[in-house]
Amino acid sequence: MRSPLRATLAISSFLLALSAAIALARRGRPHLPMDLPPGRREGARRIAMAGAANMRDLGGYRSGDGRVVRWGVLYRSDSLHRLTRGDVATFAQLGLRTLVDFRSEVERAHHPNRLPDGHGIRVVEIPIFDDHNNFMAELRERLERGAIVGIDPAAVLTEANEQLVTRFTPAFRRYIHELRAAQGAPLLFHCTAGKDRTGFAAAITLRLLGVAEEDILADYMRSKKLSLAARRRDLAIIRLTRGRPAAAVIRGLLGVEAAYLQTAFAAIDRDYGSFAAYAREGLGLSDDDIVRLRDKLLEG
């Protein structure tokens, strides 16, 4: 039986997707960045979807060698289970060959991806926070029970981001090697909110490509507004049904702060000595691997 919290969130999510779908229908199919003249691509980085609030193209970021990340080959997103029929049609235009799903088995079972049929997208499941003996599993269980008050969102997300390095480097090694194997063919990676697991994956990808750290952080922080905007109605319902303290906790868990990503990179420096050593020892990349990755994903 569904918990009251999950039921109210499901209803509000449906209403949010419905209103977004109506708005998109009025505007027509969104333009993909790669379809636009170069000067207009940055403004279209976020791909407007009724059922996905945080889908973005990672193209256009400048590498230290003067080249830029190619548009239309690297995408990041939140959950894909609420895609509307129109979203699915837009999604098909991405030309994806690989989709990497960082969600846990529980998340995937509750919310399976909705993908276009017949487009040959290879789905690779690389679950992060999937076992039943970690603090994230305990957090999910508390949220299911509605035992929200007393959770410290900043502490939860700080620990989660540290564990992305200390526990889940093998998972990100798998992701990076899927990216290498794609050979520059379009690839999308995602989790549920598209901000923590996906945010770290985007950050290490851009860093491997030589993008400046300030640009990496700016991309990471784009999720802050998008994540909260997508859950406005959920938060309003929680505030009405559970009270302001509960809504404040959920708002915090949906948040994105620079300190969270900085915690992950600090863990890299502490445990590996440098990002270069992390790329070599943690991600299993040689210098030649990185050169080939850049040749496939950078242009100019």
Compute CA 99 distance to the chain's CA centroid, rounded to the nearest angstrom: 12
Q: What is the pLDDT along the chain (300 residues), one digit of tens a residue?
A: 445 455 544 545 554 444 444 444 444 456 799 999 999 999 999 999 999 999 999 999 999 999 999 999 999 999 999 999 999 999 999 999 999 999 999 899 999 999 998 888 999 999 998 865 565 666 666 666 666 777 888 999 999 999 999 999 999 999 999 999 999 999 999 999 999 999 999 999 999 999 999 999 999 999 998 876 667 667 677 777 777 777 778 778 888 999 999 999 999 999 999 999 999 999 999 999 999 999 999 999
Our count of domains for the chain comes to: 1
Give the CATH number for residue 138. Answer: 3.90.190.10
Distance CA 98, CA 201 (A): 15
Q: Burial level of 296, CB count in 10 A (0-12/13-18/19+)?
A: middle
What is the identity of the amino acid at 61? Answer: Y
Distance CA 85, CA 82 (A): 10
Predicted local confidence at residue 146, as pLDDT:
65
Predicted local confidence at residue 150, as pLDDT:
73
**Distance of CA 120 to CAs 186, 199, 297, Å?**
12, 26, 21
Q: Is 135 a catalytic residue?
A: no
Predicted local confidence at residue 8, as pLDDT:
47
Predicted local confidence at residue 25, as pLDDT:
43
Predicted local confidence at residue 99, as pLDDT:
98
Answer for the pair 264, 161: CB distance below 8 angstroms, yes or no: yes
* Other CB atoms within 10 Å distance of the CB of residue 117: 7
Answer for the pair 49, 27: CB distance below 8 angstroms, yes or no: no
- Single out the catalytic residue among 53, 69, 179, 191: 191
Predicted local confidence at residue 284, as pLDDT:
98
Encoding tokens for residue 87?
């979203």
Predicted local confidence at residue 282, as pLDDT:
98
Q: With the C-alpha atoms ordered 77, 187, 127, 109, is the resulting torsion angle positive or negative?
A: positive
- Domain that residue 269 falls in: 4-299
Predicted local confidence at residue 140, as pLDDT:
66
Predicted local confidence at residue 23, as pLDDT:
44
Predicted local confidence at residue 243, as pLDDT:
73
